Structure 1
């Protein structure tokens, strides 16, 4: 029997499961950035936060579940229907197309040229075969394409089981076994960034881990489109992401049923199908990806500790990030007048994007540090939410950007008229020499 762990609306958003990191942006920023063009509002990403997060640089290419989610953000759809996903390595498959039934399902069967050929029709055929009985329409897909080796295979259909149409998609990829991308893929989202109804992680008999999240297409729930996802990672590094909606498309389509067509158990079964593992084996392996990049977990803890130590007097830290990200963290503070989210990104070697980050209205200090201050809407949909940001860049390219909101979450309504820290206090946090440690 699967060993399960479940979180629901009564759980604190800072909880995490045994899989790795948490919060639906989010494995995968390089794939996310490509998918956003097609998926559009699928992730409803906070553009200001994305810029603040340094995605323009993309030095650490992985999905932040807090922006998806699955953005997501991830939460956890890797892309909405129609979104192409990029795998994080080069290489080109070879061989002739196969029928779905002939795709190899043997782990790491990449030595045979014929095992590499998976067509878009193969992907669509496998998805339709694995779904329950019903009607299918509007099918799209992509196989392991020699002309576009960076684009991961996916398939999507509109599935109607007699209770209304719902879009269903699947995307597959390879991750480093035991690596950060593998752990992040099966983390429950952080509710500060990605609201959801429930998140359950199961450990399957073959040691695979699968996380099912029942959430929403739009974090602010401005449309009642539900997004349910299942992310599965095997011990061999197969990553399968299944997404479904209670509408015929992830956006710009009316809600056609109360819930997406597949139950949590059916989502898990679909993600665990052996057919997808054969497709992952057909994706060219990156010969350079032999070990996890050196990003010590302690670095993330240090950043979180530094931010907490710089919180101004009079502000009490009432919540904080539960993961240990090496570049990003947040705390939620309260001065007795309402909660306020404060987040920080710390990034080296950002000089090459200085002109994109610091334009008119920015200043240069005596030591050459560039500073930009911005006040803007929160952009995530919470009523009345504003975002105050101080962005700094030292002469050696070391960047610290701090943002604060007048709410404990970007997704919820404002709890106060302005963020708890003043702009002057945010500036002091961003310019603190403590970040150098």
Structure 2
């Protein structure tokens, strides 16, 4: 799992990067490193190994073809064709991704820094620096496909939701339904909750009834981190973010991604490894499992496998994160030592209480790590701080070990419905 979510401009945002990590959660430390989701901007799903891809989002808080934004020219056609199950499926190259974004952006110069097409292991992505003459800004677009899993896709519940509660680091966040049934969330906030450096993070997250997932993110600097602020605000207004995310060109490219029903069997002929749970679904389940009396300050997720909430019970902010991984039985011996508990149904449970893993002053991390007999691993951690690398904001995490245990062992993680 990627370290420090969103620290790499979009890989973690769009998080499909989880696929890269595969089954590498081998310690609570690795889980902690796996991802501090950054702010309310939960990227899609971009988020979605689902689409391959990345980002995400939480459900408690708070989208026919549309015309190309700003009169954009038609996007380039597919660069290649690949056979899939006897049918031919268009593939789009990294160059197609760059060309499409350039055509859909307003007047200015765009320089790509990270790009993937539809034929790669991770989902399609185009990220780079855009300058409209008013200063450089970073712009990213990630694409994915949300599998229907035998039912209909409901965009309004799959799209990234706006944070719940009155306290939020976002300046604005709106979710609306488009005429074609798609849902889109457009948000304007900051890269850091304390607004340091005045680095702003804006974006749009869209899900269509067909399962297309488009996530757009932008910053008022040449990179998400590590570069100075170069302009007062990111280059695209809220309206342009909406139009860019809703452009039909992205849906056309996303159509080249295989759906859940096309997931191939493994080389051995056995069924393919179970799919990672989508970040937005993790957040929806987590919001139903959190104890009452907690204010949801903000939330976020990766495309798959990870979600978090920052909650406050009146005693200070506390980060609560969940990692979900299927098919982990083969490494049970490495993950659960002699001190682990085995329940009557065969579920393994390990508990750890100790200092945080990212150096925050006085930060402690409480973790309940569980592994069911079917190989599903659910790990829930809570901290006495809003972020792992900042100073503690309270004496202990907002959730007790028993509450963390209840969340991790809940049957909701294996239920087909929320």
Q: Would you say same fold, with TM above 0.5?
A: yes
Instruction: Please give the per-residue CA displacement for 1:42-73, whole angstroms capped at 9, x wherever unaligned.
Output: xxxxx9587279x8xxxxxxxx9x835778xx
Partners of 2:145 and 2:212 within 8 A in 1: yes
Q: 3-state DSSP class of the match of 2:171?
A: strand
Partner of 1:426: 401
Partners of 1:182 and 1:237 within 8 A in 2: no
Q: Specify whether residues 193 and 400 from structure 1 end up closer, same or farther in structure 2 by C-alpha distance, changes over 3 A only.
A: farther
Partner of 2:122: 151
- Equivalences for 1:253-272 in 2 at 5 Å? 253-272=227-246
Q: Specify whether residues 264 and 50 from structure 1 end up closer, same or farther in structure 2 by C-alpha distance, changes over 3 A only.
A: farther
Partner of 2:199: 225
Higher mean alpha-carbon deviation, 249-258 vs 174-183, is at 174-183
Instruction: Please give the per-residue CA displacement for 1:308-348, whole angstroms capped at 9, x wherever unaligned.
Output: 4xxxxxxx83436999x9998879574x7556566677888
Residues 1:75 and 2:43 aligned together:
yes
Q: Specify whether residues 210 and 287 from structure 1 end up closer, same or farther in structure 2 by C-alpha distance, changes over 3 A only.
A: same
Q: 3-state DSSP class of the match of 1:363?
A: coil
Instruction: Please give the per-residue CA displacement for 1:209-252, whole angstroms capped at 9, x wherever unaligned.
Output: 21112233345655543221111122222222212121122232
TM-score (norm 2): 0.62
Q: 3-state DSSP class of the match of 1:127?
A: helix
1:103 equivalent among 73, 77, 80:
77
Partner of 1:415: 393
Q: Specify whether residues 50 and 304 from structure 1 end up closer, same or farther in structure 2 by C-alpha distance, changes over 3 A only.
A: farther
Instruction: Please give the per-residue CA displacement for 1:368-414, whole angstroms capped at 9, x wherever unaligned.
Output: 96534231227496x65432334456888686655333247769863
Q: Distance in 2 between matches of 1:252 and 1:392?
A: 36
Q: Distance in 1 between matches of 2:212 and 2:410?
A: 37
Partners of 2:205 and 2:214 within 8 A in 1: yes
C-alpha displacement at 1:88, in angstroms?
4.4
Considering only CA atoms, is the larger Rg found in Structure 1 or Structure 2?
1
1:87 equivalent among 42, 46, 51:
51
Q: Specify whether residues 217 and 349 from structure 1 end up closer, same or farther in structure 2 by C-alpha distance, changes over 3 A only.
A: same
Q: Distance in 2 between matches of 1:77 and 1:343?
A: 17
How much is the aligned-residue C-alpha RMSD, in angstroms?
Answer: 5.4
Partners of 2:311 and 2:398 within 8 A in 1: no
Partner of 2:70: none
Q: Specify whether residues 33 and 193 from structure 1 end up closer, same or farther in structure 2 by C-alpha distance, changes over 3 A only.
A: farther
Instruction: Please give the per-residue CA displacement for 1:341-361, whole angstroms capped at 9, x wherever unaligned.
Output: 6667788875433344346xx
- Which ranges in structure 1 are unaligned for 5 or more consecutive residues? 1-23, 38-46, 56-63, 90-98, 105-109, 309-315
2:250 equivalent among 248, 262, 276:
276
Partner of 2:350: 371
Q: Distance in 2 between matches of 1:118 and 1:395?
A: 40
Partners of 2:379 and 2:408 within 8 A in 1: no
Residues 1:357 and 2:327 aligned together:
no
Q: Specify whether residues 211 and 363 from structure 1 end up closer, same or farther in structure 2 by C-alpha distance, changes over 3 A only.
A: same
Residues 1:246 and 2:220 aligned together:
yes
The total of aligned residue pairs comes to 352
Q: Distance in 1 between matches of 2:138 and 2:13?
A: 23
C-alpha displacement at 1:122, in angstroms?
2.3
Partner of 2:17: 32
C-alpha displacement at 1:265, in angstroms?
0.3
Residues 1:160 and 2:131 aligned together:
yes
Q: Distance in 2 between matches of 1:252 and 1:331?
A: 24
Q: Specify whether residues 103 and 320 from structure 1 end up closer, same or farther in structure 2 by C-alpha distance, changes over 3 A only.
A: same
- Equivalences for 1:272-421 in 2 at 5 Å? 272-288=246-262, 308=291, 317-319=293-295, 332=311, 334=313, 338=316, 350-358=328-336, 363-364=339-340, 371-377=350-356, 379=358, 384-391=362-369, 401-407=379-385, 414-419=392-397
Q: Distance in 2 between matches of 1:211 and 1:232?
A: 7
Partner of 1:51: 31
Partners of 1:69 and 1:189 within 8 A in 2: no
Determine which structure has greater relative contact order: mean sequence separation of CA pairs < 8 Å that are 6+ residues apart, divided by chain length: 2
